Chains A and B, each alone.
Chain A
């Protein structure tokens, strides 16, 4: 057992919260509950980021994933009329097969993680300043391109979601 340090306990709690949220998202019947479960998971992920000395990133995670995307999805749920609780039309073969597939994928990854120990001594915590420097100096081109990407997404979303007035 790795030395039971405060860090481990924190990690353990956050991990349980994240996985719990994800599992609940899968098993809930009411769509709104699913969305909330996922928000819960995103929050715990932000916590894990903090644990990994990536405070800025945690903030970004909360800001965007929890704040923007989840809210967006809630809007989506609101806009689209759907039966309250979703009666699962049985697709047994499909579910079983997907369960097996996912399980197999996970098994392969699990096998890899545990056969090769990943020895890497923890680096000194990355300061936000070095993060900023790296973004604006080393990766300035991706930054500009992300700007274009967001612009494209913006225009596209407007086009597709706008209600045609000329009906």
Chain B
């Protein structure tokens, strides 16, 4: 069955083509069913591949010749390894659930089938990304995934903010992609081939100089930073919330943003070989985690809070990978995919029920009105906060353990603080939405059935996936063997899980005190309070800085060049033309009709000729 893995991405592609062609004629039901069928087929196949992979843990590689570059034959094909299979499963499962959920959420939208077409295109790109055997093919689908997110963010074309957000998303990720592109150029020349297997072989055999490996690793990491919204290039992710919520759930929570982490994991031997790269990944990761967590504290838009929490959680995964916690990182990626998707879908349900209202200050008291959504949201919140029975606890715990064991104590402490903040802001969100009385104006509406049961399935996964690695480290061993990365087997110090749980509970309690029981007037936190609050509310003014530093300077440079272009170059040309026509004017004025002046001019011409040429000769 593993040999047919290449078919998995084709189902969504076929769905995409069908939906694009039948854009006008398909009814909503038909369109949704085509989309869902496509993803379901790929889900079932990925499950089959996953199961087969469980028994015989052998990587399967199949490639064909694509483009001859000088002596090097660049190939295309698929490679199915443990990480790939896992990602296939996660991506297709979450996609399937979001596809079903979207059936309800997007009802009544006139570009319904186009929406499903774009979703299927994205699914195709994501699935083929995880199957790519070489750097070029990864880059190829990497960009296609970017296009998918661009189209979906800007799906509601009539909204100017959606247009700006889509453009921003694509441009910022493109900056990261260009770094990745340069990495490809470097590897091609230094390694002589882009096949990952050969790259890793070259790294082990020491054929590459250490600084080359570091530059390649860092460049790839910058690509990952762009896609996963890490610190310098994170500004596009919160704005991407302009897209419909299923998009945010699928792309900006589970799959695409995780692609960055996947990429670092996929090229892990490169990172292992250069300690500098590991430090960079770790520190950038942990800084993003704490940075995003602080901003999430004061956001008032439900999706913005979750977006910053995603950025923070990705920071977690990054610094896990950065501190040799390969298994921890991937484990958290998987669990995060489920509970963050759940949170987003629940948020979508909340938005639907409050008539498209996204500002949490207009919500409240929904626990009474819609208990199921409330309880699902609670499960997601508990998972992300790291409360023991749920998966979040195990994976976050594994990350912190990895950081601790790797000796990165500062990173460990910052990680712990971030975990505490995560618990706090998630439950701030929970109590503001579900606690207290309903502050919104419009009546609360019921949520369609078709949106609820995907959330339930996700809730089940959010709970269950924790135990995949708990008792037996089965997940770790399965993931690691075969690709030469040594899993950390040291036992966990006893105080770590206990401390973590206490910390989360304290966080939840504080959130309850501040927001649940209304002991402190919630409004006080609303308006722009003291400086630190304003700083956080304005997202550390990062957007403004970027705008002034890059966009404005580009416009200025453009102005200077435009002026240069118009005045210097055209000025030069006009100048020359002017001189020639001026000479012409002199010539025609000299031609004044008087025969005598003609003779005079000729005489003077003759004298000049005589003097200039024969002066030397005659006067000697």
Contact = CB atoms under 8 A, between A and B. Distances in A.
The answer to whether any beta carbons of A and B sit under 8 Å apart in the complex is yes
Interface of A: 94, 97-98, 101-102, 104-105, 108, 111-112, 115
23 contacts: A94-B596, A94-B597, A94-B600, A97-B600, A97-B604, A98-B596, A98-B600, A101-B600, A101-B603, A101-B604, A101-B607, A102-B603, A104-B607, A104-B611, A105-B603, A105-B606, A105-B607, A108-B607, A108-B610, A108-B618, A111-B618, A111-B619, A112-B618
A141 B618 CA distance: 38
Contacts of A94: 596-597, 600
A108 B607 CA distance: 9
Contacts of B604: 97, 101
Given A101-B604, A105-B603, A105-B606, 13 more contacts: A94-B597, A94-B600, A97-B604, A98-B596, A98-B600, A101-B600, A102-B603, A104-B607, A108-B610, A111-B618, A111-B619, A112-B618, A115-B618
B363 to A, nearest CB: 96
Interface size classification for chain B: 10 to 19
A94 B611 CA distance: 21
Contacts of A108: 607, 610, 618
Contacts of B618: 108, 111-112, 115
A101 B596 CA distance: 13
A104 B615 CA distance: 13
Contacts of B596: 94, 98
A112 B615 CA distance: 12
Listed residue (B596, B600, B610, B618) with the most chain A CB atoms within 10 angstroms of its CB:
B600
Contacts of A97: 600, 604
Interface in B593-610: 596-597, 600, 603-604, 606-607, 610
Contacts of A101: 600, 603-604, 607
Nearest to A98: B600
Closest A-B pairs by Cβ, 10 of them: A101-B603, A104-B607, A98-B600, A101-B604, A101-B607, A97-B600, A108-B610, A111-B618, A105-B607, A94-B597
A112 B604 CA distance: 19
A101 B602 CA distance: 10
A105 B599 CA distance: 14
Nearest to B607: A104
A76 B596 CA distance: 20
Contact of B603 (A98, A111, A112, A115): A98
B444 to A, nearest CB: 101
